[in-house]
Structure 1
Amino acid sequence: MATWWRQTGGGLPRTFWYLWTATLINRLGGFVAIYLGVYLVSVRHFDPSYAGVVIGLHGAGSALGTLLGGIIADRWGRRPAMLAGNVSAAVTAAALGLTGHPVAIAALTLSLGLFLGVARPAFTATIIDVVGDRDRLRALTLNYWAINIGFSVAATLAGVLIRADPVLLFVVNAAVLLGTAALIAVKVPESRPAPEVVGPRAPADRGGLGTVLRDRVFLTFTALTGLIWLCIEADVMLPVALQADGLPASAYGPVIAVNGLMIVVGQLFVPRLVARFDRSRTIALAAVVIGAGFALTALADTVWFYAGTVMVWTLGEMLMTPANSALTADLSPTAQRGRYQGVYSLGYAFASFAGPTVGGLVTGRFGDTALWLGLAGLALLVALGNLLAGPARTRRIAALRVPAPAPARPEPAPV
């Protein structure tokens, strides 16, 4: 075990572990995003349709925030983005718990999503900055592990807090965000590469998103990532499938718990399995496994069978996530890591909205079997897309790793 842990977590810089701790703390107290819908319907007694709109505003704010945060991280630094995002989100979360006006709730929820989004690209960019190329895969995997541990514990704690006093959801979440900001302020130095390291800015790079949005290789990768996450996010239709098979809706909890349990227990073993393989091929294989899991869901008719299908597509998710994160880092120019992380996050933001929406529309019109088979087909298309895009990504990564030419030394003045 000692040897395994050295290979999994050993040798990483101290700054990374402060970031990892900040991630864990942040996710342990991330109650608002988890229980916002329950709070609005059960505590504030708003209509479910209003709750759906408000949750959508949180996602929209997060998408906008990641773009803004990426620009801030590259132009003014990682620390300003992380500190401003977390402190502003803390103030907003506290205010959200103290208001009952529907317009104020909607505006504050949008702002909360935006401020949380501002901090995320800078956070990931800092990990990439401080961890060497060889260790990025396991570092990003460890960070993903912390996210899932925090989410799993937060989901349980949020249920306790909302029964004790719903306002505690917001107060404790705000305190945790301030604690995250304090840890970053004290222990995490600015890591944005200096201009002399990355070389002079290209004329086209004015600090905005234009360079990223013209990068077809990266945009294709982001789109394919969004589509495979759409498949995973559509799993919210599992309760409908369970009820259609005569199973209680309460069975959804134990079934979907397989996902979190597998990630928390098994994610640390993944980096050693995939590190030596081509990233694009690993992602393609993961998409095939995810597709197989959803194809099997179309056949499931018992709780154990459904749990088995979740196990299959979760295995695909575990293979995909670290490879995706490492490939994002590989494809990001040093001077633009924040912006690339911000644009990459749009793929997941799109999936968070489109997955449940498409899942609901397809299930309502054609039934859940059509949904699961459609998701399986989409996953296979994503696998094919990653295989076809692999050579272009390899060429781009090789080009980015070529060191910039040293500035020419001035000729001595003639005597």
Structure 2
Amino acid sequence: MRAWLRDTAGGLSATYWYLWSGLLINKVGGFAVLFLSLYLTSQRGAGAAQAGLVVGTYGIGGLIGTLAGGVLTDRWGRRRTLLTSHFTTVAALVALALSTGLGPIAVFCALLGVAQSMAGPAFVAAIIDVTPAGKRSRAFNLQFWALNLGLAGASLLAGLLARWSYLGLFLIDAACTLVTGVLIAWKVPETLRSPVARHARGGLGTVLRDRIFLVFTGLTLVQALIYTQSNTIVPLAMHADGLSPAAYGSVVALGGALIVLGQLFVPKLIDGRPKHRVLALALLVDGLGFGLLAFADHVAWYLLAAAVWTVGSMLAAPPNAEINSELAPLALRGRYQAVFFLTFPAASFLAPALGGAGLEYLGDAHWLVVGALGAIAAALHLVAGPPRERRVAAVRHETAAVADVR
């Protein structure tokens, strides 16, 4: 068992583990956003439409914060961006806990979106900085596991806390964020140490002109669109089949359990294999899982399909993050992460909009379209893989040259 744990950890640095611990604490303590809509309707007298608008400000703030976080990660450094993000998040959560009017709540909700999302590019850029290329697959695999473990914990704790006190829910969330901020201030040094990187030219325009990276980001968006069906369109399909919310809850629980129990074993399966082929297989499995729903009319079918698409997402997570890290030049890692991270809020908007229309007008055939989309994305990964690997080699050479200057 100890040998397996050593292999899983992969000799990762102490700084990585402090960052990993911060991610886990943040996710376990991330109660507020999960219950924000319910808080507004049950405690602040908002209607469904008003609650939707207020919560929508969090999403808008998230888009702004992701881009700002990417720029600041490169200009200020990883540590300063992370500290600003966490301590501003604490202030926003306390302000939300004490606010009563919908106007101030909307303002602080938007601020919360900005502050929380700033941390994403900085966390990933710092992990890339402190992790050698050969160990990044394990590092990102553990990161994905921590995020899902934390989400499972947050979902369980949030329900209990909401019954006790919404004020307590916001304040405990703030306390967890404060703990992470203090941990980073105490134990995480600045990882962007190269003066060449700090003063290198380039900006978001450079990222947006990088065709190889944009193709990869586009394929990641397709992957996110497919997987986001699980929490947007699948519950609608299950309702149409006469299944209860509890049945959908069992589907969600199965997926979470598989990730928590199985994600740590994924590196053994994929290490040493070409990443574009692993991603192609993952997209095929994803598409197969959702394609099975074309024949689903009982909870057992949905559970089987969920098991299949969860395996696909587990296989995809490490190489997806690793490729993203490898394509980013040292001087622009934060900006590259910011553009990459935008795929997820984009998918959160597009998946329900397109998926809802597909389910309404195509019925069960909608899931065959989703399955075909996975197959197409898999084929595109195989085509895009070789030029992507050549770019990765060039970026590695550039990073090594900067390290020599340092």
Q: Is the 8 A contact 1:295 1:372 kept in 2?
A: yes
Larger deviation, residues 21-30 vs 98-107: 98-107
1:151-183: CA deviations, max 9, x gaps? 101111100111111111211111111111100
Q: Which residue of 2 aligns with 1:318?
A: 314
- Provide the C-alpha distance between the structure 1 equivalents of 2:187 and 2:67, rounded to a whole number of angstroms: 25
Within 2, Cα distance between the matches of 1:381 and 1:103? 45
Residue 354 of structure 1 is matched in structure 2 by 350
Following TM superposition, by how much is the alpha carbon of 1:94 offset from its aligned partner in structure 2, in angstroms?
1.4
1:281 & 1:83 partners in 2: Cα distance?
38
Letter of the structure 1 residue corresponding to residue 292 of structure 2: L
Q: Deviations over 1:166-216 (max 9, x none)?
A: 1112111111111111000000000003125x5973xxx24x312111111
When normalised by structure 2's length, the TM-score is: 0.95
* 2:20 alignment counterpart: 20
* Residue matched to 1:229: 224
Q: Could you say if the C-alpha distance between residues 200 and 157 of structure 1 is closer, same or farther in structure 2, counting changes exceeding 3 Å?
A: closer
In the alignment, the residues of structure 2 paired with residue 55 and residue 80 of structure 1 have an alpha-carbon distance, to the nearest angstrom, of 28
Amino acid at match of 1:130: V
In 1, Cα distance between equivalents of 2:326 and 2:157 = 37
Match of 2:283? Answer: 287
Rounded Cα–Cα distance in structure 1 between residues aligned with 2:370 and 2:40:
31
Which residue identity does 1:374 align to in structure 2? Answer: V
For the Cα contact (< 8 Å) 1:86–1:119, is it kept in 2?
yes
Contact 1:69 1:118 in 2 (8 A): yes
2:305 maps to which of 306, 309, 313: 309
1:391 to partner: Cα distance: 1.5
Q: Structure 2: any 5+ residue segments left out of the alignment?
A: none
Note if 1:261 corresponds to 2:266.
no
- Indicate if the aligned counterparts of 2:10 and 2:138 stay in contact, CA closer than 8 A: no
**Structure 1: how far apart are the matches of 2:45 and 2:367?**
34
What is aligned with 2:139?
Answer: 139
CA apart distance, 1:388:
1.5
Partner of residue 74, structure 2 = 74
Contact kept? 1:122, 1:338, Cα under 8 Å: yes
Aligned twin of 2:165: 165
1:264-323: CA deviation from partner (whole Å, max 9, x where unpaired):
110000112112111111111101000000110111111121111000000000001111
Identical positions, percent = 44
Task: Write the distance in 2 (CA, Å) between the matches of 1:333 and 1:130.
Answer: 15
Give the Å deviation of 1:244. Answer: 2.0
Q: Counterpart of 2:109?
A: 109
TM-score by length of structure 1 reads 0.93
| Alpha-carbon distance, 1:93 to partner | 1.2
* Equivalent of 1:374 in 369, 377, 382: 369
Whether 1:90 and 2:72 are equivalent positions in the alignment is: no
Q: How much is the aligned-residue C-alpha RMSD, in angstroms? A: 2.0
Aligned twin of 1:121: 121
Counterpart-to-counterpart distance in 2, 1:309 and 1:54: 34
Aligned to 1:337: 333
**Structure number with bigger Rg:** 1
Q: Can you give the 5+ residue segments of structure 1 that lack an aligned partner in the other structure?
A: 410-415
* Residue type of the alignment partner of 1:171: L
1:330 deviation in Å? 0.9
